[in-house]
Amino acid sequence: MSWRAATRTSVLVFAREARAGRVKTRLIPLLGAEGAARLHARLVERTVATARAARLGPVERWGIRRQRGADLGARMQHAFQRGLRRADRVILIGSDCPVLRARDLRRAARWLAGGADAVFAPAEDGGYALIALRRVSPRLFAGIDWGGPRVMAQTRERLAALGWRWRELPK
């Protein structure tokens, strides 16, 4: 059996390396550079453990060196294009949402397998903590105000314009 045939879903974890002074910089005044880096490392470990616990397929950590593109949207598009060459469904998560559980990832994979083109876990800040796709389009990621409060709203507009079916997990 080929690897592609055996792999229906893969999980990508976007996470920077835990370097003091380069991660969780807003927390440095409170935790110090080393403390912020340790917190980041713990969040990444927890995220990878959650992804593995979902038992959906391979889990890949995508650090900055693997990510390609001028902004977050371009980097996610690149990751999905690569991931969907090897799997039918790809779930991408970051390390900043420790409330995501393995069951959330499994639900996203189930919804994709059931016909949804995309699944999201909207975040309180207006963005999203999880994006799962079974196909990819550059139009989904272009022109989004990454890091702003309208990311999910703009993404919904793109999804509607593409004619895609999507589902959303609870915030």
Distance CA 168, CA 111 (A): 10
* pLDDT surpasses 80 at 5: no
**So what's the pLDDT on residue 7?**
57
Task: Write phi, then psi, for 165 (nearest 5 degrees).
Answer: -95, 135
**So what's the pLDDT on residue 65?**
67
Strands 128-133 and 89-94: antiparallel
Mean pLDDT of all residues in 84-89:
95
